[in-house]
Structure 1
Amino acid sequence: MQPPRQVTVLGECVADAFAGPSSEFPRTGEGPSPEGRSLSLRVLPGGGPANTAVGLARLGTPTRLLARLSGDVFGRLFRAHLLESGVDLSDAPEAAEPSTLAVADVDSGGQASYSFHAEGTADWQWTREELSRADLLTSPCVHTGSLALVREPGGALVEELLAEARPHATVSVDPNIRPALVDPQVYRERLPQWCAVADILRLSEDDLDVVAPGTTVEASCDEFHAEGARLVVVTRGAHGAVASLDGRRVTVPGVPTRVVDTVGAGDAFTAGLLHRLGTRGLLGGRLDGLDMSDVADACAYAARVAALTCAVVGPNPPWERQLGSAYGAPDIAVAP
């Protein structure tokens, strides 16, 4: 293992609001009690790229986040959370626009669905001047994805930055598909472009169901390889993950845990994956030194990180000290 170099993460910060019944609604006047007809909101700092940056920093990878942080109450929450987690915000511009809000509806199994309040918000308003301030030459890896990659006017500029970073950095993309906010056809049309610049592509099974309904994981991986991505990882929730390196597959089981909710689990997995690859000196190019044992090891580590995230409320990835020996090494199957 070696000390990892600073990774750059680019993308949005989102205020994740978790709704629940209000127990302290003030009673006024006559008539039936309003209790049960009101909601209280608990707001936690979130957003896929921000969650990944926090996860990386907490695991010990020096991490810089390029995000447009609003000066509003949510933006101040983001900034404090990121700095407390050790994320470098020196190249994160302060934005005049408001923060993006996502209201999460968590079902009895811990699965969350979202409604977004995102029109005209800070995250998507990137300018070329803002993005050019960050020197990416020292970053062995640039990671992005989620809404910042598809929402305009900034999305096209983010794609340009990935192409500029690729000659000297490993490029990682997590589409984190949000069909409630962006037409799935947009993802289908742009995924080939992302694969052309991405060395690592991480999707969930739910993402695949949206962009390639009825297609097997294996067939999807082969298509993404053909379009340029060398390492494709498909996370499957409690069932672990399937990773494909140039068409050779490894299956990593999920790590048993008491699930509180699954918010941020995929982002935590990505953080664990990139951190583990970085500590092995495997980031910084086209993954030429990567073999299947490295892939299996990194995915098993990432599964542990994701499991710990599922055991707490909201997108709250673990610190390195929390991993320890909390979970034994899972059995891993590598396809011939």
Structure 2
Amino acid sequence: MPAQIAVIGEALVDVVADGTAFVGGSPLNVAVGLARLGLPVTLHTRVGDDGYGRQITSLLDSEGVTLPDGAVDDGRTSVAAVTLDDAGVAQYDFTLGWSLPSPDLTGVSLVHTGSIGAVLEPGGAVTRRAVAAAGSGVLRSYDPNIRPDVMGDPAATRAKVRDLAAACHVVKFSDEDARWLAGDGTDGTVEDVLTSVAASGPRVTVVTRGGQGCTAVVDGRTYDLAARPAEVVDTIGAGDAFMSGLLFALVRDGVDRSLVTGAPVGDGQVRRALETALASAAVAVSREGAQPPSPSDLPADLRTDLPADG
């Protein structure tokens, strides 16, 4: 296991129609997901010194996620108003601002970022510089989790997304993200976007397809896996649970070190990592709000290290 994982990005509250507030934000959800699975995590973010902010810090404390000095300031905590359609699929309307001190990544072996925090200025520039400056032994991970209404100019955002993806070892995005990225005219289909992002530099590139599972390109090899059966309550945090499950699996089986050093990754290792991510997402969609699994929620064969001959 790594000495420390750093997640950089927004923390906010998701407020649903009845006024109930759930702690959220894609990077925060990933940090919580990793902590629940037993990995040590620091979340580099900002929240306000207000009621919503205290709700966030209380949850992070209870989950064992560390906040660095300076994460709480005098501003207002960001909010996302959430509406659910008849299938439980979430839509978001954001009220937020994003800035943060330059993260200290000393001793970190994995850094993850994503969504609004990776592109919305001024904090986006700080985030991207921190990821770019991570040492050669640090696994870099990215989930674009596109929110077009708050990310700024589409052309500039697409360029930021593609540049950051090219600088990372692991990239995960949804089919909805891919369709938005295809709007730049570079690619025409979800498959085209997957292929072009994979060719730009990442060793692991994954597109999630909701109830249809996922497709991944790893070192030029393509994998298609079906979603695990689940009774869907809502999809809040499902992609984030997939992301945290994927990163947990890469660390669990030592694949993170292979990705950093350039060592080959076996087919069995890839499939087991993706199965873990899909199992994590299946747990999340079966619960209200962003609720990733603990180890006991995963199938028994996905909780422990990959066997030596795996």
TM-score computed with the length of structure 2 as normaliser: 0.90
1:221 and 2:194 matched:
yes
Q: What CA deviation, in whole Å up to 9, does each residue of 1:202-225 have, x standing for no partner?
A: 000000111115733332222113
Q: What CA deviation, in whole Å up to 9, does each residue of 1:137-161 have, x standing for no partner?
A: 4222100011011111111111110
Counterpart of 2:72 in structure 1 is: 94
Deviation at 1:167, TM superposition (A): 1.8
Distance in 1 between residues matched to 2:188 and 2:262, nearest whole Å:
27
Counterpart of 1:322 in structure 2 is: 297
Distance in 1 between residues matched to 2:268 and 2:166, nearest whole Å:
25
1:193 and 2:193 matched:
no
CA 1:227–1:91: 2 relative to 1, 3 Å: farther
Deviation at 1:85, TM superposition (A): 1.2
Letter in 2 for 1:248: R
1:44 and 2:44 matched:
no
CA 1:144–1:92: 2 relative to 1, 3 Å: farther
Deviation at 1:321, TM superposition (A): 1.6
Deviation at 1:228, TM superposition (A): 1.5
Q: Is the 8 A contact 1:245 1:292 kept in 2?
A: no
Q: % of aligned pairs identical?
A: 36
1:303 and 2:297 matched:
no
| Paired residues, number | 296
CA 1:317–1:6: 2 relative to 1, 3 Å: same
Counterpart of 1:332 in structure 2 is: none
Distance in 2 between residues matched to 1:206 and 1:75, nearest whole Å:
30
Counterpart of 2:90 in structure 1 is: 112
Counterpart of 2:124 in structure 1 is: 155
Counterpart of 1:13 in structure 2 is: 11
1:179 and 2:157 matched:
no
CA 1:184–1:271: 2 relative to 1, 3 Å: same
Across the aligned residues of Structure 1 and Structure 2, the Cα RMSD in angstroms comes to: 1.8
Q: Is the 8 A contact 1:15 1:100 kept in 2?
A: yes
Counterpart of 2:99 in structure 1 is: 125
Counterpart of 2:41 in structure 1 is: 63
Q: Is the 8 A contact 2:12 2:47 kept in 1?
A: no
Counterpart of 1:30 in structure 2 is: none
Secondary structure of 1:283's counterpart equals helix
Q: What CA deviation, in whole Å up to 9, does each residue of 1:235-291 have, x standing for no partner?
A: 111111101013211111101111000010000000000001101122242553423
Counterpart of 1:270 in structure 2 is: 243
Secondary structure of 1:83's counterpart equals helix
Deviation at 1:226, TM superposition (A): 2.7
Deviation at 1:325, TM superposition (A): 4.3
Of residues 255, 263, 266 in structure 2, which corresponds to 1:282? Answer: 255
Letter in 2 for 1:16: D
Deviation at 1:199, TM superposition (A): 0.7
Distance in 1 between residues matched to 2:262 and 2:206, nearest whole Å:
14
Counterpart of 2:139 in structure 1 is: 170
Counterpart of 2:307 in structure 1 is: none
Letter in 1 for 2:19: L
CA 1:88–1:160: 2 relative to 1, 3 Å: same
Counterpart of 1:207 in structure 2 is: 177
Secondary structure of 2:141's counterpart equals strand
Equivalent residues in 2 for 1:231-242 (5 A)?
Answer: 231-242=204-215
Q: Is the 8 A contact 2:194 2:205 kept in 1?
A: yes
Counterpart of 1:29 in structure 2 is: none
Of residues 262, 266, 289 in structure 2, which corresponds to 1:291? Answer: 266
Secondary structure of 1:278's counterpart equals helix
Please, which moves more after superposition, 255-264 or 88-97?
Answer: 88-97
Equivalent residues in 2 for 1:75-94 (5 A)?
Answer: 75-91=53-69, 93-94=71-72
The structure having more radius of gyration, on CA atoms, is 1
Distance in 2 between residues matched to 1:279 and 1:233, nearest whole Å:
19
Letter in 2 for 1:212: A
Q: Is the 8 A contact 1:222 1:247 kept in 2?
A: no
Letter in 1 for 2:73: A
